[in-house]
Structure 1
Amino acid sequence: MTTTKKKLTLSLLLLSLQFFSHFPLPSIARGAGRSFTNSSGFVGSIYGVSKRKLLKDEEHFQNLDRLAHGYMTNADLEKAMKVLNRRCSSISRIYTIGKSVLGVPLWVMEFADNPGEEEAEPAFKFVGNVHGDEPVGREILLLLANWLCDNYKKDPLATLIIDNVHLHILPSMNPDGYTLRTRGNANEIDLNRDFPDQFFPINEEMDARQPETKAIMSWLKEQQFTASASLHGGALVANFPWDGTEDKKTHYNACPDDKTFRYMASLYSRSHYNMSLSKEFIGGITNGALWYPIYGGMQDWNYIHGGCFELTLEISDDKWPPAKELSTIWEYNKMGMLNLVASLAKTGVHGKVLSSDYGRPLSAFLSIKGINSTIKASETLADYHRLLVPGEVYEVIATKHGYKNKSTQILLGEEAMSLDFILDPTIPHQGSFKSSCLYPADGDGMGGFPLLEIVPGSQLQVLYVTLVIILVFLFFLIMRRVLSRKHRQSVLPQRSNIA
């Protein structure tokens, strides 16, 4: 069957069977290499490894009806987001980052005090419904959006988040899989295995990736995220990088920022109603490769290629619980979600990188001595936001080609620290100066910029000489005109007064 015919067939299926399709696969969210029993008592094996027999058609349709009852359709979700945006238009906006295989828009809602504007603030993203048969995340994220809308300027945590963070919420990354009730997308691809992998050369060709994957990758190029989390179902644990191992064996594989990731995962787990009490995972957290290795996963790609610290959050033991349980699941996860986003403003190191000549912003690289990981200051505002574990000593290093490196040792407390860098050019420009506008009087640490345009020193000298010549010439013309007028007055005949 050609690709065109296949897509047409899937489109017709999507229109005619909104609530009828494949029974959700009973593998856990990340695709573990093991079988388990779901809430309906059905025993299954991992996705893509072995096939299973489908239930009889009658039972199959009954189960789909039962599972879908009370959950939003894709149309319902889009409508709910637009209604919410109109209700909270001063602190929110909605936009799309692309479309699914079957053309469903991937809607995102942003919350901030100035939504859509670039500010020197960290950005966080939530991504739900990565797997089509794990719909809890999309419902919980809409409840989070409504809570923020209702509680801004009423609840201190809601106010802190909206005033100091740009929060982006993508409720459904896989709307086709949700409608078809399959783990993968409409092309039967597991989107959490479709990203480029650091250990093995898979998914290297951009054209071969799924449109949903491409949308996420393009999103990270357009928006610089400090941290993020994807929501899954089938377990109850906060998972952190690395997700894979070079030898394909199951063991702990720490990434350079292992301490920071453990801190983030523990923050979520401890804030959750009972995640930290897990008997399977100590403290309710796990290193991905220690749990079971996966390749082509989204969280590792975010960290490596976007400098974005992403967690994979398994927020429900049941992949598709009854809709009546959603409010309880929301209450259990509420504080974990809020505290994780708020941590971007409440902890870590934040600042700007500026040039000593004219105070221009520099998109420099920021690193920590002893940690083989760097982040980059933004291109326009040169602001950076570095997540670190509180209570430790760090040496922060700023580097930029054409400038001298600068480092500062800090003791990071429990609260966020502001740390600006001013870098000197390796070859100073003639006529350059250090502006007194670099540090504003209000001490917000964000820096300012002089009004003088950035001009190289040699050109500045030529400009000064040219201005002097012009001023002398203008003075000469003015004096000549004054003298000429006096001369004319002295030679004109005097008029006599007539009575």
Structure 2
Amino acid sequence: MGQFSFEHCFEIDTLKRLIAQHQHLFRHQTLVDLYYRGEKLSVTAIELGQQQSSCPTVLFVGGVHGVERIGAQVVLAFLTSLLNRLPWDTHLQQLLQHVRLAFVPVVNPVGFLRGSRGNGNNVDLMRNAPIDSDEDVTFLVGGQRISPKLPWYRGKEGMEVETEALVNYVKQIQHQSSSVIALDAHSGFGLLDHVWFPHAHTRQPFEGMGYIYQLYQLH
């Protein structure tokens, strides 16, 4: 891809190759087109399985941070495994008659090309939330609007195009599903995986909190 090294394009190229080789096995859509140094990039969603609105959906997201490449590679590897099994695995075929699996493997393609945690505007998409916390947050780590030169920059008011595209896609599949579970794969310094509770911006209880707690216990 032009002047960029293959190393920084691996995940993007892998996703393109999957679409070219296996697009007859799934549905895919472009959530948003991006342009960086003359290169056209896309945030792409892929769906396997049931198309009826009454089915449960599991969403796998990767590549929110351009330097956390393992998360995107795990999502891509899992998707590749499913696509390779789908033609002959009758159990998987039967399962996908009742559920939908959705994938957004690379949310931040510009960050991958730049080798940057943030996107093309140096915005940390994980902290580019459409809402503000009702509680005090950890200085800088909780997100800051001071400067894009400092880490964990939230951006100016409003959402970045990548964040908005992902939020809109989640709303879309919510309308098409009986339930949605999202797995956002990162690669960082943590020793444990975490189930993040919705509405983390407040300490107030939310509807369905018991279901989330049961999921946490299962995890």
TM-score by shorter chain over 0.5 = yes
> Aligned partners of 2:186, 2:69: CA distance in 1, in Å?
8
Asked if 1:237 is matched to 2:193, the reply is yes
> Aligned partners of 1:258, 1:147: CA distance in 2, in Å?
33
Question: Which of 220, 223, 227 pairs up with 2:170?
Answer: 220
Measured at CA, do residues 216 and 73 of structure 1 come closer, stay the same or move farther in structure 2, by a change above 3 Å? closer
Alignment correspondent of 1:72: 10
Structure number with greater Rg is 1
Runs in 1 of length 4+ with deviation above 6 angstroms? Answer: none
> Aligned partners of 1:231, 1:254: CA distance in 2, in Å?
26
Asked if the contact 1:126/1:169 (under 8 Å) is kept, the reply is yes
> Aligned partners of 2:169, 2:204: CA distance in 1, in Å?
28
Structure 1 residue 256 displacement after superposition: 4.1
Structure 1 residue 245 displacement after superposition: 5.3
> Aligned partners of 2:157, 2:5: CA distance in 1, in Å?
29
Alignment correspondent of 1:107: 44
> Aligned partners of 1:73, 1:146: CA distance in 2, in Å?
12
Asked if 1:257 is matched to 2:211, the reply is no
Measured at CA, do residues 213 and 262 of structure 1 come closer, stay the same or move farther in structure 2, by a change above 3 Å? same
> Aligned partners of 2:107, 2:167: CA distance in 1, in Å?
12
Alignment correspondent of 1:199: 133
> Aligned partners of 2:210, 2:47: CA distance in 1, in Å?
29
Q: Could you say what secondary structure the match of 1:104 adopts? A: strand
Structure 1 residue 136 displacement after superposition: 1.4
Structure 1 residue 255 displacement after superposition: 4.5
Alignment correspondent of 2:148: none
Alignment correspondent of 2:137: none
Structure 1 residue 99 displacement after superposition: 2.2
Identity %: 21
Structure 1 residue 75 displacement after superposition: 2.9
Alignment correspondent of 1:179: 113
Q: Aligned pairs, how many?
A: 192
> Aligned partners of 1:228, 1:198: CA distance in 2, in Å?
21
Asked if the contact 1:97/1:107 (under 8 Å) is kept, the reply is yes
Alignment correspondent of 2:19: 81
AA aligned opposite 2:113 = T
Residues 7-36 of structure 1: per-residue CA shift (max 9 Å, x gap) = xxxxxxx953436xxxxxxxxxxxxxxxxx
Structure 1 gaps, min length 5: 1-13, 20-67, 247-251, 270-499
> Aligned partners of 1:94, 1:140: CA distance in 2, in Å?
19
Asked if the contact 1:129/1:173 (under 8 Å) is kept, the reply is yes
Alignment of 1:37-56 (within 5 A): none
Alignment correspondent of 1:18: 5
Measured at CA, do residues 76 and 147 of structure 1 come closer, stay the same or move farther in structure 2, by a change above 3 Å? closer
> Aligned partners of 1:239, 1:136: CA distance in 2, in Å?
19
> Aligned partners of 1:94, 1:257: CA distance in 2, in Å?
31
Residues 429-471 of structure 1: per-residue CA shift (max 9 Å, x gap) = xxxxxxxxxxxxxxxxxxxxxxxxxxxxxxxxxxxxxxxxxxx
Structure 2 gaps, min length 5: 135-143, 146-154
> Aligned partners of 1:96, 1:265: CA distance in 2, in Å?
32
Measured at CA, do residues 256 and 119 of structure 1 come closer, stay the same or move farther in structure 2, by a change above 3 Å? closer
Measured at CA, do residues 245 and 123 of structure 1 come closer, stay the same or move farther in structure 2, by a change above 3 Å? closer
> What's the RMSD between the two structures over aligned residues?
3.3
> Aligned partners of 1:245, 1:222: CA distance in 2, in Å?
23
Measured at CA, do residues 148 and 76 of structure 1 come closer, stay the same or move farther in structure 2, by a change above 3 Å? closer
Q: Could you say what secondary structure the match of 1:167 adopts? A: strand
> Aligned partners of 1:177, 1:241: CA distance in 2, in Å?
26
> Aligned partners of 2:114, 2:122: CA distance in 1, in Å?
10
Asked if the contact 1:73/1:179 (under 8 Å) is kept, the reply is no
Q: Could you say what secondary structure the match of 1:72 adopts? A: helix
> Aligned partners of 2:59, 2:13: CA distance in 1, in Å?
22
Asked if the contact 2:11/2:72 (under 8 Å) is kept, the reply is no
Q: Which has the higher contact order (CA 8 A, sep 6+)?
A: 2
Once the two structures are overlaid, the 10-residue window that deviates more, 189-198 or 99-108, is: 99-108
Structure 1 residue 161 displacement after superposition: 3.5
Asked if the contact 1:121/1:164 (under 8 Å) is kept, the reply is yes
Measured at CA, do residues 206 and 182 of structure 1 come closer, stay the same or move farther in structure 2, by a change above 3 Å? closer
Measured at CA, do residues 150 and 208 of structure 1 come closer, stay the same or move farther in structure 2, by a change above 3 Å? same
Structure 1 residue 169 displacement after superposition: 0.6
Asked if the contact 1:100/1:174 (under 8 Å) is kept, the reply is no
Measured at CA, do residues 208 and 128 of structure 1 come closer, stay the same or move farther in structure 2, by a change above 3 Å? same
Q: Could you say what secondary structure the match of 2:106 adopts? A: coil
